[in-house]
Amino acid sequence: MPEAHSNNATAVLIRDQGPVFYSFMGLKSGKSQSDISTAAFAYDLTTDQWQRINPVPVPEGRLASVAVPLNGAIYLFGGYRVLADGHEISTPHVFRYEPETGTYHRLADIPKPVDDSVAFGYADRYIYLVSGWHMDGNVATVQVFDSVEGVWFNATEFPGIPVFGHAGGIVSDRFLIIDGVAVLGEQDGKRQFGLVKQAWVGHINPDDPSDIQWQKAPDHGGAPLYRAAATGSEDRGMVLFAGGSATAYNYNGIGYDGTPAAPSARVFGYDPFNDLWMGFADKPIPSMDHRALLPANGAFWTIGGMIAGQKVSPLVDRIDAIE
């Protein structure tokens, strides 16, 4: 990347010239409140060229937003801003970015603003936001945006422990949600955050996008993860995960308990049709603080994030997901 960013919303579009990766907002290398960014970039995978594109039209930067590609555009949802006193505010903003013109169109706000949510598109029309942090606590709400009508509705609630920084993806009409950070209680008047290990499959009713049949999935076998990169792959018939951290941490990469977070190199996947987990070779560079895993050219990619030492990374990392 021209400028290292972490916790950035990322997406891929397959355009006439081939795959193009996009990065929106996030945290720059200084890792302070003043380093939260509105910057946006596009990367042409075929020509190995970066381009700075128009920044996201918000007055201050955002962390933990999500980006979803749909019908040639990219939809941006939520995230949070950090005030000078350290307070974090979940934001409701929704934009559709049009790559042909480089313009952003403001759409209907998220009814219950969330950050660090899992987002995915379904049926070339609907975008689901599953759980996430809302202002002062996690929510189990599943909010769905209808990109045709421009309206929101709720789907069947997430039955697991409400979390932020979880990961997931969709294949056909089945999606998987794993792990994340929950509020585990209070000590001396302060909330205690911790990772939870969980895996849930959601099956969307093709006749009613608000109806989700949930089923608990078997354990994925490793440590629970925070802000792993994930995506659903129709070609592979599975949801894939890469990186993340086994420590619940603040936006600077330092754990809520003061422990510096370390990135993971683990790569694994789940087949929701056969209820099967698979492990793959580690990713080349351990990384964490991701918002998505990008499928392109038969491989999977991360853009930015944090690497060892909580360093904000400019790297584009290819993951082949081979055994």
Element (H, E) at 123: none
φ, ψ (nearest 5 deg) of residue 308: -55, 145
Give the pLDDT score at 187.
84
Give the pLDDT score at 9.
99
Strand pairing category for 238-242 and 229-233: antiparallel
Give the pLDDT score at 10.
99
Cβ neighbours of 90 (radius 10 Å): 23
At the topology level, CATH places domain 82-92+107-317 in: Neuraminidase (2.120.10)
Give the pLDDT score at 182.
98
Give the pLDDT score at 165.
99
DSSP code at position 314 = -
φ, ψ (nearest 5 deg) of residue 33: -60, -35
Please give the chain's pLDDT, 323 residues, in tens.
Answer: 999 999 999 999 999 889 999 999 999 999 999 999 999 999 999 999 999 999 999 999 999 999 999 999 999 999 999 999 999 999 999 999 999 999 999 999 999 999 999 999 999 999 999 999 999 999 999 999 999 999 999 999 999 999 999 999 999 999 999 999 999 988 888 889 999 999 999 999 999 999 999 999 999 999 999 999 999 999 999 999 999 999 999 999 999 999 999 999 999 999 999 999 999 999 999 999 999 999 999 999 999 999 999 999 999 999 999 98
Listed in sequence order, the residues at least 6 apart from 132 whose beta carbon sits closer than 8 Å to its beta carbon are 78, 114, 115, 116, 117, 118, 138, 139, 163, 164
Cβ neighbours of 281 (radius 10 Å): 13
Give the pLDDT score at 188.
83
Give the pLDDT score at 310.
98
Give the pLDDT score at 258.
95
Q: How far apart are CA 222 and CA 153, in angstroms?
A: 35
Give the pLDDT score at 21.
99
Give the global pTM.
0.98
Give the pLDDT score at 270.
99
Beta bridge partners of 60: none
Give the pLDDT score at 280.
98
CB contact at 8 A, 268 and 220: yes
